[in-house]
Amino acid sequence: MADAKPLADALEALRLRLEDEEASYAEALAELDRQAGVPLPEETGPEIRELLGELNELWTPAEGPRGGGLGKAIERRAWDALTPALERQGRFNAVLVRLINAQLEHAARYHARLRELGAAVVRYAQRVEPVVDARDDMRVARTPSETVQVLEVFARRLEAMGQRLEGLLALRDRTEALSEEVRALREGLVAKPPPPEVARAAVRSAADSAYTAFENRFRGSREELRERQADYVERLRGHAPVLDLGCGRGELLELLRSAGIAARGVEGNANAVQECRAKGLDVAQGDLVELLERQPPGSVGAVVAAQVAEHLVPRQLQALLAAAHRALAKDGLLVLETVNVASALAYLDVFIRDLTHERPLHPETLRFMAAAAGFSEARIELRSPVPDDVRLHLLPSGGLPPPVVKALNENVERLNALLFAPLDYALVARR
């Protein structure tokens, strides 16, 4: 469900945000606990009170000298001279001590209030935490049902879109079939009024146009087919004339004509025959085997049948091989291209899609039948390889023990050979 991905991304973003908020909440609680545990100034150590007591003792004013005698008199005179300065210093010390004491008292009250505030916040957070957890539990419990509801809505929308898409695909296929039918009728009814035989041929061509549309849809466009068959040109050079059985829309005949190689075709689909003739190609309409059997012995340099053998029952295939062996000149070439049913992908995605395919034809089976019909040098050439991005990928080295990687990659290669072997193969044999 591609449309469900934004919902999944949104849920993942919410989950990450919740984790971040929970981490911040835990960090705040830890910081509050740490702040609440900060000791008061008088708790930091006895030296503060000791220093304060010593300071209070030092600022107490000293008494002047007492007693009689000349020495005492001189001492009193000196004391009297110094008394104003000493009194001023004493008053300064007294004010300083009172200021320090007042500051310490204020700081003690401030820290006590901070401790009370921190304790109150911690108590509040501890009280709120169960409520938050309960809310989260309710939200988590509710989220699956809400998600299911959202996904159900998406599923209904996707189903509706799928139905519309199926309708559009059906309309596209029908339009393609109708376009081929209209083209066939238009080309077949050029003459006005047409002779009866031309009209009958046009009707047959219109009836066969549905299969032409099917080939357009699944086998590939004319350009793609010409590209895939281009390598046959050099192989067939020197083997003229070439007889193309089941030539279809004439892609190979066009390539051979451009290369100056004489060739003609045989096709049973009236619509395809009409298209070939409109291009100036030499194409006969009728049963492939019957027309091949009417060829004089040794009159053909090469017989080609691309995607034909799978449409024949065994009796017809044997007759085709015998007729080709008879019609070919000495050293003449036989090329039969068909679906490689030894590839699971080709069998499931190509062979069984076409209702006109008779039965799977294994490469070794066709090679054996050609050899039994008298052909020499019969060999199988694989064609239309599967792209690498479709095949299973090998495990890189590292991470796992080398023997394990080796064993797993060997199994991957076996699976690729079974599942994703080339889609087509060609039997190439000589007379």
Average of per-residue pLDDT across 47-62: 64
Binned at pLDDT 50, 70 and 90, residue 203 comes out as: very low
424-430: strand order across its sheet: 283-285, 263-267, 242-245, 300-306, 328-339, 424-430, 376-383
Four-residue CA torsion sign, 251, 253, 255, 258: negative
Is the pLDDT at 218 greater than 60? The verdict is no
Is the pLDDT at 328 greater than 80? The verdict is yes
SS3 of residue 300 by DSSP = strand
Is the pLDDT at 279 greater than 70? The verdict is yes
Is the pLDDT at 98 greater than 80? The verdict is no
Position 21 scores a pLDDT of 73
Is the pLDDT at 285 greater than 90? The verdict is yes
Is the pLDDT at 184 greater than 60? The verdict is no
Phi, psi (degrees; rounded to nearest 5) at 426:
-125, 130
Average of per-residue pLDDT across 109-134: 65
Summary mean pLDDT of the chain: 77
Structure tokens at 414: 């076996």
Least confidently predicted of 20-24, 231-235, 324-328: 20-24
Position 30 scores a pLDDT of 73
Q: In Å, what is the CA distance from 119 to each residue of 30, 107, 114?
A: 12, 18, 8
Structure tokens at 168: 């559009």
- Above pLDDT 70, what percent of the chain? 60
| Maximum mean pLDDT: which of 27-41, 91-105, 171-185, 310-324 | 310-324
Is the pLDDT at 216 greater than 90? The verdict is no
Binned at pLDDT 50, 70 and 90, residue 217 comes out as: low
Pairing between strand 300-306 and 263-267? Answer: unpaired
371-406 pLDDT, tens per residue?
999 998 899 999 999 999 889 999 888 778 888 888
Position 107 scores a pLDDT of 72
Higher confidence at residue 153 or residue 308? 308
Higher confidence at residue 115 or residue 168? 115
Higher confidence at residue 408 or residue 39? 408
- Above pLDDT 90, what percent of the chain? 37
Average of per-residue pLDDT across 265-278: 90
Average of per-residue pLDDT across 109-137: 64
Position 83 scores a pLDDT of 72
pTM: 0.52
Position 22 scores a pLDDT of 75
SS3 of residue 387 by DSSP = coil
Is the pLDDT at 366 greater than 70? The verdict is yes
Position 191 scores a pLDDT of 43
Least confidently predicted of 36-50, 362-376, 383-397: 36-50
410-421 pLDDT, tens per residue?
999 999 999 999
Helix 251-258 to helix 222-229 angle (10° resolution) is 60
Average of per-residue pLDDT across 76-102: 70
Binned at pLDDT 50, 70 and 90, residue 349 comes out as: confident
Higher confidence at residue 395 or residue 160? 395
